[in-house]
Chains A and B, each alone.
Chain A
Amino acid sequence: MELFLARLFDGISSGATYAAIAVALVLIYKATTLINFAQGELAMLGTFVTYVIAVEQGLPVVVSLVLAMVATAVLAAVTERALIRPFDPSNHLPLVIITLGLFLLINALAGMIWGYDPRRFPGIFPADDLYTFGIARLRWYTVGTLVTVVVLLLLLSLLLRKTKIGLAFRAVSSNLESAGLVGVRAGPTLQFGWALAAAVGTLAGVLFVSDPVRQLDPNFAQRVLIFASAAAVLGGLDSLWGALAGGLALGLVESIVVGYVEWIPSQFGLATAVFVLIAVLIIRPEGLFGSKRVERV
């Protein structure tokens, strides 16, 4: 029982971070039916920027995080304008190629600037436990991550439902042509989506490495991207709350499968994610909460 609780808490905390990156993917997908393969790397970059501001400049971690979120949002907005907008959104291949190019570029750039030695990240939550049941520790980190992601989703929902830019964003994702006909400029709206997704991604990256058992290096996001994609697809690629459900489900599956099935070593968490991804796409491509409209494009 205690072991199960321990697995449960582990699953929830990693699941919540997968969910946060998944939310970033969903934001881009909703707007453009594009999967941004560089989303994880943008999050990694934002996490390093947070680290640099917090550790090297000595600002509080939360302030550093906000600054890094703004910086990556600006970077993503510029990227969208320069590299994505010139292409026809209905032709996927060039866009896949551009985002893969960004993936390589950002990953290498981080390696060139910061090297590959793992770094200890100053967490944004207290490092101690909130409560312990024998070996099962309910950590501040677990609760903090979950609460942060839920609050993030509430804010995003409000933004999309109640503001004019949110309305424009939903219009563009619902019907690009009609959005133009009512005077919504698609370009700036999608740019806003990219900026928002990058900021959310940075938050997610920081949440991920805030776990004292994890460390920061330029490759941490590759694995997270696969998990986040599986989470996003599981939740239904166009559903924000679905991303949370998908992320949590995947985190739990990972921690329970790897924890209980002996012949599955820890590296196989990733294989579990890929398996879930394939299974969902075959059995229920619209995911758990996605709208039917979302087809396999």
Chain B
Amino acid sequence: MSGTLVEGSSAHRTYRIVTWALFVALAVLVPFWAVQTPSFSIGSSTFTFSLSNLSHGVSYMVAVLGLGLLIGYNGQISLGNSFFMGLGAYITASLVVDNEWPYLLTLLVVIPFTFLVGMLVGIPALRIRGLYLALVTLGLAAVFPALVRHDQVSERTGGANGKRISSDLDAPSWLPLESIAETLAKIPLVGEWAFGEGRLGGREEGAIWVYLLLAAIAGIAFWLTRNLIYSRPGRSIIAIRDNETGAAVSGVNLSVTKTLTFGMSAALGGVAGTMYAMAVQFVAPDVFGVNLAIFLVVGLVVGGVGTLSGAVVGGLVIVFVPLWASQVESVPGVPERFLRGPTGSFFLGVLLIVLTFVLPGGVVYGARRLRSRLVRVQPSRGTAVPDDVIDVQEAAAEGLLSRHDPSRVSGL
């Protein structure tokens, strides 16, 4: 079964509105389900899906988004976003604990600060490109844990022990979370199965509130980034990725655009750090090291390099693959002490390599290819609507990880 929709027609508009409404509804309702900590079992292993893990994942979505802006859209291979995420997380932790700021207010410090530091890193990146930039930024990621352990700052950072944030985020009383939960539970057939009895304690309400806040921040971050990509500066950013010389010749100011992109990517990393502090309420030096830097790359590749929506999948993968890997109780033929080891990193590493081979466009392209079998969107003729432009760009992005580039011309 497959239908054809003409781009810009009312049917196409309805289709888009319905799919978006479904996505938003899912994003808003999922905490009421996840707060019950649903689980599923395979063999003797039980895999959980808890709301706190989900919130944790939402913070990584924004970090992957920032990385994707830099690698996927601007073509600068940087691995340092864990550094900026760490900065954001530590600034928030310190301001909330030591200065008793509310969480959200810390964004006013985190965003400008990480933006500026990102620009500072971006300036040498103008002269350092490709693999060297990857190397330098990986070094930056490796330095972060030592930085927060430094004696001079350990009073504020908590040094090697990390810093616990005890300030809880309580749901505001005007938000009728309880009655929403009750209503959901009353939905015939699926209500009780999906949402339990619909009774929420203070802790559950708080968890739902944190999730909704984070989802809102993430929503704003994605919306702003999308607008940026579709805008004129966004086209400059992409032009640099596709052909740096060509972009310069067409009047794109390379150094300004690249430095600003670096700053924006870093600011997204910083926001992700604040979100991490809100979700986990604990920051420690080794969380924001080389492994996280690479995890963010895994998230980017799994979701799809050169897509925005891929970051949603990527953020979840970074949390749930290690979580579920650690919940495996036994695998025939594998010694148990192996399963107690760093299975999460192991699987993420395998996933990274396997995906680069079998699905270089990531999950998002896989999903799009599936969808295109069901619904075919026909471009309206004549007008070049922005979506067309982006589709072409994304087709180019799909080639970012391709194994061979047949279009290299060297003399006829």
Contacts and interface: CB of A to CB of B under 8 A. Distances in A.
Indicate yes or no for A touching B, C-beta below 8 A. Answer: yes
Interface of A: 33-35, 37, 83, 86-88, 90-94, 96-98, 100-109, 111-113, 115, 222-223, 226, 229-230, 233, 263, 265, 267-268, 270-271, 273-274, 277-278, 281-282, 285, 296-297
Given A108-B349, A268-B146, 8 more contacts: A34-B131, A101-B349, A104-B291, A104-B346, A108-B341, A113-B341, A223-B142, A297-B132
Contacts of A229: 135, 139
16 contacts: A37-B134, A100-B294, A103-B349, A104-B294, A104-B346, A105-B346, A108-B342, A109-B346, A112-B337, A222-B290, A229-B135, A230-B139, A268-B146, A281-B128, A281-B136, A296-B130
Q: Could you say which of A35, A86, A104, A113 has the most chain B C-beta atoms within 10 Å of its C-beta?
A: A104
B401 A93 contact: yes
Contacts of B401: 93-94, 97
Contacts of A104: 291, 294, 298, 345-346, 348-349, 352
A131 B357 CA distance: 55
Contact of B403 (A86, A97, A105, A108): A86
Contact of B127 (A113, A273, A277, A282): A282
B138 interface: yes
A37 to B, nearest CB: 7
Nearest to B401: A94
Interface stretch (B149-157, B262-270, B388-396): B149-157
Does more than half of chain B's interface fall in helix, strand or loop, or is it mixed?
helix
A8 to B, nearest CB: 24
A129 B338 CA distance: 40
A282 B122 CA distance: 12
Interface in B117-161: 124, 127-132, 134-136, 138-140, 142-143, 146-147, 149-152
Given A86-B357, A267-B146, A274-B140, A93 B346 contact: no
Contact of A281 (B127, B345, B403): B127
B71 interface: yes
A92 B128 contact: no
Instruction: Determine the interface band of chain B, counting residues with CB < 8 A from chain A.
Output: 35 or more
B363 to A, nearest CB: 15
Contacts of B342: 107-108, 111-112
A107 B351 CA distance: 15
B228 interface: no
Nearest to B152: A263
A285 B127 contact: yes
A98 B353 contact: yes
B271 interface: no
B142 A35 contact: no
B147 A97 contact: no
B345 A107 contact: yes
Contact of B356 (A88, A101, A106, A285): A101
Given A34-B131, A104-B352, A271-B147, A97 B346 contact: no
B294 A98 contact: no
